[in-house]
A and B are shown apart, each in its own frame.
Chain A
Amino acid sequence: MRNELRISGVLLIFGLVVEALSLCWNTALSFMSFVVIGGLFFASGILLFLYSLVSSKD
């Protein structure tokens, strides 16, 4: 579970960095980067964390 938490955390940090970078510009490209790339990191990080919770034997 700890390894999954780490991976989940790293994915979420990437998502947050993408969000921060996308907010530095006000263009359709930055919006799409936030939605597509950021959204993918956020979704995978959160889903991995939730999966680690339900599959944990602790």
Chain B
Amino acid sequence: MISPETLVFSLIGASIVLILVVVIRPSITASREGKIIAFLALFIVPVMTAGVGASEHIERSEQTQFCLSCHIMEPYGKSLYVDDPAHIPAAHFQNHRIPADQACYTCHTDYAMFGTIQAKWEGLHHVYVYWFGTPMNPIRLYHPYNNRECLHCHAGARSFESATHMAMVDDLKSNKISCTTSGCHDTIHNVDKLGEAKFWKPLE
């Protein structure tokens, strides 16, 4: 099976070869076939290759490594290693309740129609602000955290079927009670208190 990365690099290589044919021998455009080759080499193929490259970059932007590549996100990455089972992001990350290589994206995307597009659009906005604007300090979410993102995985799970959850399930679904601020699961990244925290060191 060819990986998307191999496909992109092959496409880039093929595009360069095709363009070089036109650059070295522009006289080929005198014929009709040559004009078609030039059109393919200098328009269709580069547009296609750039599109595939953009798609690959957007796909990669879901990875934890990508999110943590911005200096401002370092403490949030560090908070994933806090040695405390009550620490919600750390417990999810360390126990692989979410894919470890897509930890940020899994919890911070919107599980709604067009949610992926919205999450990626907001991600582009983050990158734009990081490079060309002034990021918020401290970082805040644009909207209060929606219970829908928690319930996407937890609703229907055995661990969720406790009497406490069942008594308030409608309020949780309608966001009248937040999973994170109701005093139940309110230990989130807590980056201000990382200095006092103990950290988990994964085995090599």
Contacts and interface: CB of A to CB of B under 8 A. Distances in A.
A32 B20 contact: no
A26 interface: yes
B9 A23 contact: yes
Interface stretch (B49-57, B162-170, B171-179, B190-198): B49-57
Contacts of A23: 5, 8-9, 53, 56-57
B23 interface: yes
Nearest to A2: B26
B43 A49 contact: yes
B41 A9 contact: yes
Contacts of B30: 58
B49 A19 contact: yes
What class of interface size applies to chain B in its complex with A? Answer: 35 or more
B16 A13 contact: yes
Interface string B55-83: 01100110101100110000000000000
B29 A16 contact: no
Contacts of B46: 12, 15-16, 42, 45-46
B13 to A, nearest CB: 8
A53 to B, nearest CB: 8
Interface in B65-111: 65-66, 69-70
A27 B56 CA distance: 13
Contacts of A37: none
B47 A46 contact: yes
A32 B133 CA distance: 14
B22 to A, nearest CB: 5
Nearest to A9: B23
B132 to A, nearest CB: 9
23 contacts: A6-B23, A9-B20, A9-B23, A9-B41, A12-B42, A16-B12, A16-B49, A17-B16, A19-B53, A20-B9, A22-B53, A22-B57, A23-B8, A23-B9, A23-B53, A26-B65, A27-B65, A28-B127, A31-B60, A31-B66, A32-B131, A35-B54, A45-B46
Interface of B: 5, 8-9, 12, 15-16, 19-20, 22-23, 26-27, 29-30, 38, 41-43, 46-47, 49-50, 53-54, 56-57, 60-61, 63, 65-66, 69-70, 127, 130-131
